[in-house]
């Protein structure tokens, strides 16, 4: 699992910093100078590298995985139900994280087998491994990034327009994906609000009509919303529908 995380983080850092792999045939940190040699890092260096990569893990999980859309929808759902602290933030984050791992597992496995594993075995250079390993990850980002957001990010880089989508660098794909996921999450959250808002309006109308102005309608509507959510097996519906959006 650590290797999966390491190769994903390395791709993101290299893509965000350079946009594309360098033409230099070898990176001294990851080899002894022989372009066909595998990774020859010492154990202390590997530990330092992994600890450095792990510090970026929260930002990577939150921004370039399904975590972003899932956590936004779950927070909208909690607000719609009217339960301010149930489920707690820790529970929502944990659920979103493991659902993200579930969705990203095939992508990370492809990145590992196509990029990291051949480099580690000395079958290709680091740059070749970067090219091969970034392809599945780029395909995932392109699948959910809107064309409008991609155009905006390309314009901001002031770079020539690429001939096709495969020529886009990670420095363009990542922010475009984040913008697209923010919009998708808010759209789904707005739809989730509608049935619960109807219950709030109905309860508020009844309480006002019978003169119960001192009792907040939210206190009465909250049990009805929770009961409705439980009866329709809401968690299964919401999580199942969310996972289907990533197919």
- Write out pLDDT tens, residues 35-64: 444 455 677 877 887 788 778 777 877 888
Question: 218 falls in which pLDDT band (50, 70, 90)?
Answer: confident
Q: Which residue has the tokens 């509608």?
A: 194
State the Cα angle at 168 between 184 and 116, rounded to 5°.
Answer: 95
Q: Are 168 and 20 in contact (CB under 8 A)?
A: no
Residue 247: pLDDT above 60?
Answer: yes
Residue whose token pair is 């968690």 = 235
Distinct helix (H) and strand (E) counts, the chain: 11, 0
Helix (H) / strand (E) element for 67: namely helix 67-81
Lowest mean pLDDT among 63-77, 158-172, 193-207: 158-172
Predicted pLDDT of residue 1: 46
**Which residue has better confidence, 236 or 56?**
236
Assess contact for 37 and 122: CB atoms under 8 A: yes
Look at residues 168, 182, 160 and name the one whose alpha carbon lies nearest to residue 140: 168
Distance CA 71, CA 77 (A): 10
Share above pLDDT 90 across residues of the chain, in percent, rounded to a whole number: 6
Q: What is the pLDDT of residue 132?
A: 75
Q: What CA–CA distance (Å, rounded) separates 203 from 228?
A: 14
How many angstroms separate the CA atoms of 118 and 1, rounded? 17
Angle between helices 89-111 and 126-144 (to 10 degrees): 130
**CA atoms 222, 92, 89, 16: torsion sign:** negative
pLDDT of res. 209: 79
Please state the pTM of the whole predicted model: 0.71
Question: Mean pLDDT in the chain?
Answer: 76
pLDDT digits (tens, 9 = 90+) for 96-125: 889 988 888 888 888 777 777 777 777 777
Whole-number pLDDT of residue 186: 92
């Amino acid at each position: 699992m650590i290797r999966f995380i390491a190769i994903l983080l390395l791709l993101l850092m290299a893509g965000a910093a350079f946009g594309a792999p360098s033409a230099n045939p070898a990176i001294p940190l990851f080899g002894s100078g022989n372009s066909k040699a595998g990774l020859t890092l010492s154990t202390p260096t590997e530990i330092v590298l992994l600890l450095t990569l792990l510090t970026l893990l929260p930002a990577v999980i939150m921004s370039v995985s399904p975590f972003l859309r899932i956590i936004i929808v779950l927070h909208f759902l909690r607000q719609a139900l009217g339960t301010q602290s149930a489920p707690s933030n820790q529970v929502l984050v944990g659920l979103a994280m493991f659902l993200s791992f579930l969705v990203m597992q095939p992508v990370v496995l492809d990145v590992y087998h196509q990029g990291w594993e051949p480099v580690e075995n000395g079958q290709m250079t680091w740059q070749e491994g970067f090219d091969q390993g970034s392809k599945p990850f780029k395909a995932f980002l392109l699948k959910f990034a809107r064309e409008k957001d991609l155009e905006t990010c390309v314009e901001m880089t002031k770079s020539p327009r690429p001939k096709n989508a495969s020529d886009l660098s990670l420095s363009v794909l990542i922010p475009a994906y984040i913008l697209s996921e923010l919009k998708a999450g808010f759209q789904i959250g707005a739809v989730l609000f509608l049935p619960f808002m109807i219950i709030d309006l109905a309860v508020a109308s009844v309480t006002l009509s019978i003169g119960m102005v001192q009792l907040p309608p939210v206190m009465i509507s909250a049990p009805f919303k929770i009961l409705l959510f439980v009866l329709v097996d809401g968690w299964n519906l919401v999580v199942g529908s969310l996972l289907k959006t990533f197919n």
